Amino acid sequence: MNVLKNQIYTVTITDMGSDGEGIGHLEDGYTLFVKDAVIGDVVKARIVKAKKGYAFARLEEITEPSADRVKTVCSFARQCGGCQIQALSYEKQIEFKNRKVKNNLIRIGGFEPDFVERLMEEPAGMEEPFHYRNKAQFPIGTDKSGRLITGFYAGRTHTIIENRDCALGAAENRKILDIILDFCEEKKIPAYEETTGEGLLRHVLIRKGFSTGQIMVCLIVNGASLPEEGVLADRLFERIAGMTSFSLNSNTENTNVIMGKKTRLIRGQERIEDTIGDLTFSISPLSFYQVNPVQTEKIYAQALSYAGLTGEETVWDLYCGIGTISLFLAKKAKAVYGVEIVPQAIEDAKRNAERNQISNARFYVGKAEEVLPEKYEKEGIYADVIVVDPPRKGCDGACLSTMARMKPKRIVYVSCDSATLARDLKYLCGNGYELVKGRIFDNFPQSVHVETVCLLNNRKTD
């Protein structure tokens, strides 16, 4: 087909891609990718970029809305990069995510479709799929009139869309942002400018322990201090119930990474606490902590059940963060060893073990792909079960090959990116393991992201 830029086509959306974009076909099977259109919509779409067999098009008008289309809760849903599929009913969001994971297991993992169908257990969605996030990071900028603004980046850009009422975040966020921005306007403290490297205010990080009500605010600045920071601390502690920790993080680099390495406490405690199940965790600003506590509890319970512990096992928990999974495992295992790259998180993990009177967990700082092979080659460490929970890029090859050589009876893989999960499962299944169960957990409703937990058994020791 001869499709040209700016032409408008009417198309029925029959599928959705992994980033939530609507997919429809014109004559000859020519494919249109239409962002913001959902499965079942009939839309008019304007061609933005045309290639040989496909084109990217912009949604101009919904001529027949899909039966699964819902009114978005947030009026910025379309511009903001956070909620790619808020316009799709929640039930269909779960179906979309389950299908996305299955497709990746088939296409990237090389598993048979029938096998994948049998493998995947009932998806675990949320009852209340809004206001579930315990953490938010708001960029600060300036509008055309020079006023300080905060909100969210428009999808794939660094343009800030002003919005202090995100439908995914905690109710307190708005008030905290109002206090901080009013204070900075009053004291004429400028926002950081990416292009010039000037200005001070970069981001506001807010974290809330949902079960304890404790709130942490960390201001990320292009410098070492904030004028009259004590005054801002007074206001936050006076006006925000649950305010527990206020700190300043310095990030003077020209980078997309939000947090710098140095954090200085201004008022309160360095860490906030939260509880998951019957364990209490201390969390410092630089440590990773799961953003959806309701779903996290379900994931950890699943990981624990897949681990099949009797009290006799030695378990390695790779990418352990502040030791959350490790400590749940430790209560049911003989010994647990956690590995994590961020030193502050390991400090938190050790503190958390002590706090919960768990004495059979040890933690190591370092890269999983370095610590594990080194301990295996030099000390001949052993594992009955290995649990991994890597970031989106998945496990490093050296980590996977060492796991295969250590031959644990079971491997539990917790993943936040099903493409890298499928890649890593393919390797493990080619190296002595068999995939026996899998289940998705919707930790990120309204977005295209999804968590998956899988169980692999060693073929020989089974």
Which one among 319, 328, 337, 413 touches ligand SAH, defined by CB under 6 A?
319
- Which one of the spans 1-9, 121-129, 226-234, 321-329 is the region binding ligand SAH (CB under 6 A)? 321-329
CA distances to 178, 185, 204, 247 from 200, rounded to whole Å, are 18, 12, 12, 15
Minimal distance in Å, beta carbon 403 to ligand SAH? 13
Give the range of 17-25, 217-225, 320-328, 352-360 binding ligand SAH by CB under 6 A: 320-328
Q: Give the separation between CA 8 and CA 401, rounded to whole angstroms.
A: 51
Number of residues that bind ligand SAH (CB under 6 A): 19
Give the one residue of 109, 129, 209, 321 binding ligand SAH; rule: CB under 6 A. Answer: 321
Pick the closer one to ligand SAH by CB: 192 or 363: 363
Among 290, 302, 415, 452, binds ligand SAH (CB under 6 A): 290
Cβ-based neighbour number of residue 357 at 10 Å: 6
| Cα-based distances in Å from 39 to 133, 181, 382 | 26, 40, 48
Of 76 and 413, the one with the shorter C-beta distance to ligand SAH is: 413
Alpha-carbon distance of 259 to 23, in angstroms, equals 36
Q: Residue 446, interface with ligand SAH (CB under 6 A)?
A: no
The tokens describing 241, both together, are 């119930």
Work out whether 113 is an interface residue with ligand SAH (CB under 6 A). no
Residue 340 interacts with ligand SAH (CB under 6 A): yes or no? yes
What token pair was written down for 333?
């295992």
Residue with tokens 């020791």: 461
Taking residues 230 to 269 in sequence order and writing x for each that binds ligand SAH by CB under 6 A, - otherwise, the string is ----------------------------------------
Q: Is 368 in the site for ligand SAH (CB under 6 A)?
A: yes
339 binds ligand SAH (CB under 6 A): yes
Give the helix ranges, DSSP H, for 76-153: 90-107, 113-119
Q: Say if CB 59 and CB 76 are below 8 A apart.
A: no
Dihedral angle, C-alpha 415, 417, 423, 425, nearest 10 ° = 20
Told to check if 315 binds ligand SAH by CB under 6 A, we report no
Site for ligand SAH in 157-196 (CB under 6 A): none
Q: Which of 98, 302, 324, 344 touches ligand SAH by CB under 6 A? A: 324
- Nearest-angstrom CA–CA distance, 167 and 72: 10
Over its C-alpha atoms, the chain yields an Rg (Å, rounded) of 24
341 binds ligand SAH, rule: CB under 6 A = yes
What separation in angstroms does the CA of 41 have from each of 16, 55, 74, 255?
A: 11, 18, 20, 39
Q: Which pair of tokens denotes residue 343?
A: 């030193």
Interatomic CA distance for residues 92 and 368, integer angstroms: 36
Angle made by CA atoms 243, 244, 245, in degrees to the nearest 5:
110
Q: Are residues 38 and 32 in contact, defined by beta-carbon separation less than 8 angstroms?
A: no
Nearer to ligand SAH, 17 or 366 (CB): 366
**Of the candidates 238, 129, 133, the residue with the CA atom closest to the CA atom of residue 175:** 238
Cβ(53)–Cβ(31) below 8 Å: yes
Q: Which of 367, 407, 437, 449 binds ligand SAH (CB under 6 A)?
A: 367
Choice between 194 and 270, CB closer to ligand SAH: 270
CB of 84 or CB of 352, closer to ligand SAH: 352
| Residue 313 identity | E
Q: Residue number with the shortest CB distance to ligand SAH? A: 321
* 412: contact with ligand SAH by CB under 6 A: no
Encoded tokens for 401: 């090959």
Active-site option among 74, 416, 429, 454 = 416
25 near ligand SAH, rule: CB under 6 A: no
Binding of residue 352 to ligand SAH (CB under 6 A): no
Q: Closest separation between CB of residue 98 and ligand SAH, Å? A: 21
Residue from the set 291, 294, 342, 381 that interacts with ligand SAH by CB under 6 A: 342
399 is catalytic: no
Q: Does the footprint of ligand SAH cover residue 320 (CB under 6 A)?
A: yes
Chain contacts with ligand SAH (rule: CB under 6 A): 288-290, 319-321, 324-325, 339-342, 345, 367-369, 389-391
Just list the catalytic residues.
416
